[in-house]
Structure 1
Amino acid sequence: MAQLYFYYSAMNAGKSTTMLQSSFNYQERGMNPVIFTAKIDNRFGEGKVSSRIGLEADAELFTVETQLFDHIATLNEKQKVHCVLIDESQFLTKEQVHQISDVVDTLKIPVLCYGLRTDFRGELFTGAQYLLAWADKLIELKTVCHCGRKANMVLRTDENGVAMADGDQVEIGGNERYVSVCRKHYKDALK
């Protein structure tokens, strides 16, 4: 039975690595997984998903305008799709989360989403908000703060490494801009 999964975490918990491993598992069994990633995040090249440990794969791109149900249905007509994997799922819109739930319920294709739960202000991303509300399975992937506790928050830092409290919700970056920390160190950094 197909289900909608949301794998969420702070940055650097291995979301992309876990997703690429799932894709490999499907391929190893002769199945056809399809990977999607957000066009806005092109740090590793357009149409690529890369993990920090060096794994990578080609991906379909989505923007806020992408009609995911229609796109996936078309791909499925050309060649049976056994699983849809979505990296950077925090960038999905409410409508797109609804569409991928239709992929699960109507096309009977499992959809595995991987993304951040909250932004650097501690607020939910739209995609995460609706995945938390509508997904069949919620799986937290864990990483650690420099103090050893579970990191569940993300700090955005300026060019001097100082934590920022304000700014646009979306600013693409990696370790040079973001640090995963526990709630205590998140609050301490913003004092």
Structure 2
Amino acid sequence: MSELVAFLGLMDSGKSALALQMNHSLGGEGVLLTSGSRDGEGLISSRVGLRAPAFEVSADLDLYDLLAAITDGKRPQYVIADEVQFYTEKQVNHLADAVDGLDLSVYAFGLRTDFRGELFPGSKRLLELADRVENLPVKTLCWCGREATHTARVRDGVMIHTGDLVEVGDMDSYQNLCRRHHRAGLA
């Protein structure tokens, strides 16, 4: 039975590694999707060195049409969607439509919240539509030792709360914090 499953967490919680492991353990016969990967377009990669080619999801890509075209020939067994926080709400709707209309299971991986502690639009829509939400097995810790629940953007040692949702470059760094320290601005 096909389903839409969400795997949302923080940076360094093993999302992409789990996506690639799932692809391997399911037989490697699925469709892989990604958006804005840290190692370049069309590539799912993890910090532990795993990587696999994937369809790059640009903001204007109709995912349902893509998946319907792929299933028209050889039917994939499943879909792995990585970096789903960068998908549009409409694209997350397309993933749900693929479950319901094409009978494909979709496993979606991404960040739950941005550096401000707010849900990414793609993650929000995924939480609204998912058949299941799974906890990631790797927990990250705040500097105080508590489980981290938020990712902060830090510049010159100070936590910042403004700026573009996605910034490319090395002028900022990110740190995982517990709720208490994220809300207090103590990175």
Q: 1:30-45 counterparts in 2 under 5 A?
A: 32-38=29-35, 41-45=36-40
2:47 is aligned to 52
Q: Distance in 2 between matches of 1:76 and 1:64?
A: 22
Determine helix, strand or coil for the equivalent of 1:36.
strand
The one-letter code of the counterpart of 1:171 is: E
1:68 to 50, 63, 66: 63
1:150 is aligned to 147
The one-letter code of the counterpart of 1:60 is: F
Gaps of 5+ in 1: none
Contact between 2:34 and 2:81, CA under 8 Å: does it hold in 1?
yes
The structural deviation recorded for 1:134 is 0.8
**CA distances 1:23-77 after superposition (whole Å, capped 9, x unpaired):** 01122xxx51111000xx2431221111111111111110111100000111112
Q: Distance in 2 between matches of 1:173 and 1:128?
A: 23
Determine helix, strand or coil for the equivalent of 1:52.
coil
- The answer to whether the aligner puts 1:13 opposite 2:13 as a matched pair is yes
Determine helix, strand or coil for the equivalent of 1:69.
helix
Number of residues paired by the alignment?
Answer: 184
The one-letter code of the counterpart of 2:184 is: D
1:131 to 111, 126, 133: 126
Gaps of 5+ in 2: none
Determine helix, strand or coil for the equivalent of 2:145.
coil
The structural deviation recorded for 1:180 is 1.1
Contact between 1:164 and 1:190, CA under 8 Å: does it hold in 2?
no
- C-alpha change, 1:155 and 1:86, in structure 2 (3 Å) is same
Q: Distance in 2 between matches of 1:78 and 1:161?
A: 53
1:79 to 68, 74, 77: 74
Alpha-carbon RMSD across the aligned residues, in angstroms, is 1.7
